[in-house]
Structure 1
């Protein structure tokens, strides 16, 4: 049994995680600890506070006791708002506090894009434009070309958590561009685990969503590979050898 640990802010789309655990169809256990969200606002100052060391370290003891082999801060905006270097420092601090390999959803997107071997991506963000632009900057720092960003301007994770299939598909369609090799939906408050194969079929390209890549990243840290077609192209491809 491989136990994967996740620190998830508040309560919005956390039910994606037991769904993903079921879809993995293997000896994988997903352990989720909720962190204190503080102020629910897609605003840079609030997001930086949400991902502070004090808030993250409060949840790691429970994951250690559960026997987790890796931990991922399951929040995209609460990591990329710190910038490329700041996000690295965030996960280094988390790894020291947890005593196990650590990452965040922002880095999960970077590693997943590289896994797929694509270089140009489109972003469909629920966030306001200024926050969405910071995610594009983060991807750019990783050498990933962003063909365009579609912002929905939503302030709270609570509102994002109410979105259903129709809204998710509309965001993905609006974000997609002919020159994008993949579409990224970066909010862990967005329910996407049930829709990934249908999204990829409609758009004709890989779709990476926040909770999907977060679990994949934890598997990567634990040195596990699981073939799970119900979770999209990311979970069915052979690894790309970077040159």
Structure 2
């Protein structure tokens, strides 16, 4: 089975991943194994200085060594959006190279996964619904621009901590995503925060917006599988995992 190791900062929506494993047990062949190790957090804040510390090489390396020793994954994902895109396009790639040097394994991050997922489904013009404050959300817009992806509309929701984002339930998430500005007919709506539970509701979010939806936890799993050539069509995970989208 493909074993995708997840480096996840702190505690908020990490239960999205084992819940997905359970939901898909018996319906995905080979089954997915998504072992997760928590990386350390200095200050839980959607603030640039705190996020740069969150994604520092030392914090990631410590978690990566534990992940590799405990779970022997086939690939590693830094399952954090803001703790990668705040470093910028080049910085996010450098972060992954440093992490890969520690793991010796195919490695990527949620931010880079968003760029790759957009390419996979042909999304060049997108709308973004972010939990973050405006300045952090703008950093994600700049990151996407460097990847050649145009953001037509941005909705920032000014939630300061990942812990608070993790308390959002289904109704809250659907409401936030339904509020996406799709007036300019974007190719997709992006929801960039691994602290937000989404994996049970991808199809519902796509129905609410009338467009493909890419969420942080969804693209993290997809990219991890992509690193080992194990992406297959899966029902219930949106256009990205549909037959026409389950490839790069």
Question: Whole-Å Cα distance in 2 between the matches of residues 14 and 87 of structure 1?
Answer: 22
State whether residues 182 and 209 of structure 2, in contact with CA within 8 Å, keep that contact through their aligned partners in structure 1: no
1:151-202 deviation per Cα after TM superposition (whole angstroms, max 9, x unaligned): 0001100110111112111211222313211111000000111111111122
SS in structure 2 opposite 1:28? coil
Q: Which runs of 4+ in 1 moved over 4 A?
A: 239-242
CA distance in 2: counterparts of 1:84 and 1:186, whole angstroms: 15
Residues 68 and 240 (structure 1), Cα distance of their counterparts in 2 relative to 1, 3 Å cut: closer
Q: What is the correspondence of 1:1-243 to structure 2 with a 5 Å cutoff?
A: 1-24=1-24, 25-26=28-29, 27-65=31-69, 66-178=71-183, 179-238=185-244
Alpha-carbon displacement from aligned partner over 1:25-48 (angstroms, at most 9, x marks no partner):
332111100001110000000000
- Distance in 2 separating the partners of 1:176 and 1:205: 11
CA drift of 1:23 comes to: 4.0
Mapped partners of 2:234, 2:181: distance in 1: 24
Following the alignment from structure 2 to structure 1, what is the Cα–Cα distance between the partners of residues 159 and 245?
35
Q: Secondary structure at the match of 1:193?
A: coil
Task: State the alpha-carbon separation in 2 of the partners of residues 221 and 23 from structure 1.
Answer: 22
The CA distance in 1 between the partners of 2:3 and 2:47, in whole Å, is 33
1:240: how far off? Answer: 8.6
Q: Where does structure 2 lack aligned partners over 5 or more consecutive residues?
A: none
Query: What is the aligned-residue RMSD (CA, Å)?
Result: 1.5
Instruction: Provide the secondary structure at the position in 2 that maps to 1:214.
Output: helix
Aligned residues: 242
Output the TM-score relative to the length of structure 2. 0.94
- 1:62 is displaced (CA, Å) by 2.8
Provide the rounded CA distance (Å) in 1 between the counterparts of 2:98 and 2:21: 27
Q: Which runs of 5+ in 1 are unaligned?
A: none
How far did residue 241 of structure 1 move? 8.8
What is the Cα deviation at residue 205 of structure 1? 1.1
TM-score between both structures, scaled by the size of structure 1: 0.96
Residue 12 of structure 1 deviates from its aligned partner by: 0.1
Q: Would the alpha carbon gap of residues 57 and 226 (structure 1) be closer, same or farther in structure 2, given more than 3 Å must change?
A: same
CA distance in 2, matches of 1:106, 1:231: 19
